[in-house]
């Protein structure tokens, strides 16, 4: 590999990293209010999904995008498994759960696989990020394969030329008349 191919390889890697970081920043800074329910199971604490607009209609005593907030004041005893009560407004509070629990009152063990599935299903920015990374990676690999093919081809030709020179075989110069007859075809 000569310097030119190394520089191109480094540039492709840099492009992949930059595209990944840009998408990560876009996904991280996006307002994630794009969530919508698709069935009643998406709404917590007995809420029902209103399908025309994809919003959860919460039972009395609960509020929030998917009925995850308890209406009332923090007493601290409602949060299970070491969760802390956080008063969001005078009327609503939320339990801040420890690392391995989830749910309105930190009652559900955390399921990382389900989190990944939900992230992919519902977050269009995340889907676009994954698609951009895959496309950039494929383009990078195609570019690298083409470069590797050219290098192998060049090495093969160089080896044959060196072999011919070392054996003392010289090609006779092509006569001008033969060149003209070849060009006429």
**Which tens digit of pLDDT belongs to each residue from 90-135?**
778 888 888 788 888 888 887 777 777 777 777 777 778 888 888 9
**46, 67 in Cβ contact below 8 A?**
yes
Whether residues 86 and 8 share a domain: the answer is: no
The pLDDT, as a whole number, for residue 106 is: 87
* pLDDT at 24 > cutoff 80: no
Please give the structure tokens belonging to residue 110: 């955390």
Higher pLDDT among residues 43 and 10, named by residue: 43
pTM, entire model: 0.37
Whether residue 174 lies inside any domain: the answer is no
Parent domain of 74 = 32-123
Report the CATH number at residue 81.
Answer: 2.10.25.10
The residues, any chain, with a CB within 8 Å of residue 95's CB and separated by 6 or more, are 70, 78, 79, 80, 83, 84, 85, 86, 103, 104, 105, 106
For residue 156, is it within any domain?
Answer: yes
pLDDT at residue number 166: 80
Higher pLDDT, 185 or 75: 75
Is residue 32 predicted with pLDDT exceeding 70?
no
């Amino acid at each position: 590999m000569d310097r030119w191919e190394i520089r191109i390889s480094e540039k492709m890697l840099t492009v992949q990293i930059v595209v990944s970081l840009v998408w990560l920043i876009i996904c991280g800074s996006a307002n994630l209010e794009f969530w919508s329910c698709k069935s009643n199971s998406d709404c917590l604490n007995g809420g029902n999904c209103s399908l025309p607009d994809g919003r959860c209609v919460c039972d009395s005593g609960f509020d929030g995008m998917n009925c995850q907030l308890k209406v009332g004041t923090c007493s601290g005893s409602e949060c299970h498994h070491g969760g802390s009560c956080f008063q969001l407004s005078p009327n609503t509070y939320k339990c801040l759960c420890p690392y391995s629990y989830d749910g309105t009152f930190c009652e559900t063990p955390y399921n990382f696989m389900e989190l990944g599935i939900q992230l992919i299903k519902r977050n269009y920015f995340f889907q676009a990020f994954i698609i951009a990374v895959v496309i950039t990676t494929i383009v990078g690999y195609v570019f690298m394969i083409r470069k590797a093919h050219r290098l192998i081809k060049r090495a093969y030709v160089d080896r044959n030329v060196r072999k011919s020179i070392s054996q003392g075989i010289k090609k006779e110069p092509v006569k001008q008349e033969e060149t003209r007859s070849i060009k006429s075809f």
